[in-house]
A and B are shown apart, each in its own frame.
Chain A
Amino acid sequence: MTAPSVHKEPSMARQKEMISQHFKKLTTAHESGKKVVYTFVPGNLTELMLSFDCLPVHPEINALQSGMRKKSAGYIAEAERHGHSEDVCTYVKCDIGMLKKGNIGPTGEHIPPPDLLLLSYTGCFTFMKWFELLREEYDCPVAMLHVPYQGDGEITDDMREYVIRQLREDVIPKFEEVTGQAFDIDRLKDLLASSARAEDDLVTVLESAKHRPSPIDAYFGGVYYIGPIFTAFRGTREAEAYYRELREEVQERMRVGAGPITPEGPLEKERFRLVVEGPPNWTHFREFWRMFHEEGAVVVASTYTKVGGVYDRGFRHDPDRPFETLAEYCLGCYTNLNLPTRTDMISKYVEDYSADGFLINSIKSCNSFSAGQLLILREVEERTGIPGAFVETDLVDPRYFSASNVKNRLESYFQMLAQKQVQAS
């Protein structure tokens, strides 16, 4: 049987090539004298890493890639055999399972062990536990950047100073020690300037969804758009080129009034505009997306695409304030925001993007996202007067995606929205 053909945006080909090159570099990192740093997406210090010529590995990206490539079930089973309970974050189990099975990455190439574990701790306690497990596996230095939670909904001077002090006194000296290179602030500034340029283009792309019809899907499509900037490429010329190409592509679709390109083909008719909170399910990513495509539903804004930076609220990396900007970036990631801020953000998205509805995809094993989501649901409903939908799936454990139940709920939800549209007209 031949697999059904998948429609892709041209910029995706560029992205695929970038990722493939990155994994090739990783495979030969140690032979070519490069150092490998394992780190997480939220609050990642990519520019700092690149200024030391380090290559990042993101365990949660590997996990989601394994989920999309239908490998996660086996990895999770492996981790469970090593004693991890069913309730542990499935990203963690997928990563640990992959490691136990030889650390073969998503492109089929071996991922080298880390020279440094850089834990930028932003809002997810599990990250800390995850790296404790990795520390058991690898004999390498650990740098921990503790990022205070925005409990009161703002970044105070003390919080910023606290992060900066750690950067200066702990993180940068660790990099110098591991790489043998001296910290080069000019290089960091160049990288930060490049980041800001790509960030501008990304925001243009994300905000294009305010247009009717939206030329992008800001959730399913959005996860591709954030790929380079959230991972190894922020601050690079390649990322700048990618985002320029993407922006042009999206603007062209906007000019001709075309909708987003989905794996099933272009979305011909936009019937529902949605805001989505929560990470996607990766094991049934295409199937999940198809449920939206079939109903003419397009996601116009999502919170998941802000886990590696909330750029659309104005943040840009600022080369003139290198330490402050890194600190503010880490402090401002979506997972580090408190519930009232998240509620404000979602409510504002519903209004700014003229959404017909909003959906919470609650992830069984992700506490940092899921805690408080029912409260968010109720608050956003009250503020916007728009009913929310709530489905439960998981990140990469295929056992927790019940397609017929999710579809049943989504169909019911879309029919309710349609009825409201008729009533309103």
Chain B
Amino acid sequence: MRGVIGIDLGSTTTKAIVLDEDGRVLGRGITNSRSNYDVACAVARNEALIDSRFNLFRSRAAFESVAAGARDGIMQRLELGFRREQYSGQLDDLQAACTEHLTGPRFSKVRDAAQGVLESSFATLRSETRALFSETGARRSNFFRDLAGSRLLEIMEPCCRERSVPFDLMMGLYDKSIIGVENHVPEVTFESNVMCAMGDALEGGSLDDIRSAALRAQLEDVARETLTEACVVGTGYGRARLPFPRENIRSEILCHGLGAHAMFPETRTVLDIGGQDTKAIQVDADGIVESFQMNDRCAAGCGRYLGYIADEMNMGVQDLGPMALRAKTPVKINSTCTVFAGAELRDRLAIGQRREDILGGLHRAMILRAMSLLARSGGIRDEFTFTGGVANNEAAVKALECLVQENYGERHLNISPDSIYTGALGAALFARRHAEGEKEVA
């Protein structure tokens, strides 16, 4: 089948969206942007195509005779199984890369012991794979680096002690190896991975052999289906690096405007807070950008600000919002410099202020910066759509709601659970227009 793809190469994550011929979202893919934009772009695109195949399969006729509850269970197990296979393949790559780097001179005295550490650590990591990708497994991220990295180091540390291998050496080995693994595009083995996963997915289900066989046949069919990309449009900070012709590259402003319009057609003002940009965009009834303002010179108050604060507090970035929501009396925090805010944070912790109150103040400070940009762009009109990774942070949303009310009165605030894909969606819509041969837009 034919589809179009939009790719948003952000400073933190790269997102891709596949639209089918009717303009419906067929699949979404996301990866960390890493140091190599070309790879990030290819990986996000592959992930979106994988997701598309799952969605195609879900819509297949063979599913119709399966009870709704069982259907969801099968799909969940199938996707988890697929991710497990994918993860196992990446673990193999990582171990191979680590083993290869063991040949360096720094390991000359401990090579055998280090080899032992690697083998034993990877064996432990593999033994945890099934639990990690079970329905109850706790996965804080879907990115391989996050999933495998911290756990591998945790396992390695005692191993190193036992075998008298300096842990620093192994950390360096991991760092060097993970970059190599991340910076090559894994071969897409959808068919083999998914067929392996299908066995597990059907196990434990209540399907008879005939239905199971029909589902297998449908899955094989979907796995083999050719997905033709009629057009790919790229956007985002790294767009200049995208391997596309110039006419297939759109600014993130246009893409966020159009994407927000597609999600919420009554949108007139868009606020996007991404990794290093805050954008205030005014759009017309067709999603065409009327004006915009972006942060300039300094990126304090953007997504990376939260990332830095999370590191300072030794927390996961996704845990900041929930903690901030528990603030009783938010404190005032400097928002003009990320690094200074970190210092302020430590000072306030030292004088005994509650983490919740500090984080509450911090989220408000962040949104205050966005408010000034919104004012500069022409204010907040109805409806108001908040996009970007930070829109998933409940405390940021709460601070925004409060400040919008204070400054502009009642406004309808839209936030999509897929807000992080807004730019990619806009890019995909531009790709669709392009593919349909509509009049060239820019």
* Interface check A400, CB cutoff 8 A: yes
Which chain A residues lie closer than 8 Å to B294 at the CB level?
408-409, 412
CB-based contact B291/A422 at 8 Å: no
| A-B CB pair tally, cutoff 8 Å | 60
CB distance from B227 to the nearest CB of A (A): 28
* Interface check A388, CB cutoff 8 A: yes
Complex Cα spacing A418 to B376, Å: 22
* Interface check B293, CB cutoff 8 A: yes
Chain B stretch 382-432: residues in CB contact (< 8 A) with chain A: none
CB distance from A228 to the nearest CB of B (A): 34
* Interface check B205, CB cutoff 8 A: no
* Interface check A28, CB cutoff 8 A: no
Which chain B residues lie closer than 8 Å to A412 at the CB level?
251-254, 292, 294
Complex Cα spacing A411 to B439, Å: 20
CB-based contact B288/A415 at 8 Å: no
Chain A stretch 364-415: residues in CB contact (< 8 A) with chain B: 364, 374, 377-378, 381, 387-388, 390-392, 400, 402, 405, 408-409, 411-415
CB-based contact A402/B293 at 8 Å: no
* Interface check B264, CB cutoff 8 A: no
Could you say which of A387, A392, A411 contacts B297, with CB atoms under 8 Å apart?
A392
Which chain B residues lie closer than 8 Å to A388 at the CB level?
291
Chain B stretch 237-276: residues in CB contact (< 8 A) with chain A: 237, 250-254
Complex Cα spacing A392 to B299, Å: 13
Complex Cα spacing A32 to B267, Å: 72
Complex Cα spacing A423 to B439, Å: 10
Which chain B residues lie closer than 8 Å to A387 at the CB level?
290-292
CB distance from A321 to the nearest CB of B (A): 44
Could you say which of B254, B296, B441 contacts A392, with CB atoms under 8 Å apart?
B296
CB-based contact A390/B293 at 8 Å: yes
* Interface check B316, CB cutoff 8 A: no
Which chain B residues lie closer than 8 Å to A422 at the CB level?
439-442
Could you say which of A364, A390, A419 contacts B441, with CB atoms under 8 Å apart?
A419
CB-based contact A415/B253 at 8 Å: yes
Complex Cα spacing A400 to B298, Å: 11
Give the dominant DSSP class at A's interface. helix
Tier of interface size on chain A: 20 to 34
CB distance from B380 to the nearest CB of A (A): 14
CB-based contact B442/A415 at 8 Å: yes
CB-based contact A378/B378 at 8 Å: yes
CB-based contact A416/B251 at 8 Å: yes
* Interface check B289, CB cutoff 8 A: yes
Which chain B residues lie closer than 8 Å to A414 at the CB level?
442
Question: By CB atoms of chain B within 10 A, which of A411, A413, A415 has the most?
Answer: A415
CB-based contact B296/A391 at 8 Å: yes
* Interface check A420, CB cutoff 8 A: yes
CB-based contact A390/B378 at 8 Å: no
Complex Cα spacing A422 to B294, Å: 24
Complex Cα spacing A388 to B289, Å: 12
Chain B stretch 283-314: residues in CB contact (< 8 A) with chain A: 286, 288-294, 296-297
**Residue ID in chain A nearest B287 by CB atoms:** A419
**Residue ID in chain A nearest B251 by CB atoms:** A412
CB distance from A28 to the nearest CB of B (A): 44
**Residue ID in chain B nearest A418 by CB atoms:** B442
A interface residues with partner B (beta carbon < 8 Å): 364, 374, 377-378, 381, 387-388, 390-392, 400, 402, 405, 408-409, 411-416, 418-420, 422-423
The 3 closest A-B pairs by CB, nearest first: A387-B291, A412-B251, A418-B442
8 extra A-B contacts, CB within 8 A, seeds A402-B297, A405-B297, A419-B254: A388-B291, A392-B296, A408-B251, A408-B294, A412-B254, A412-B294, A420-B288, A423-B288
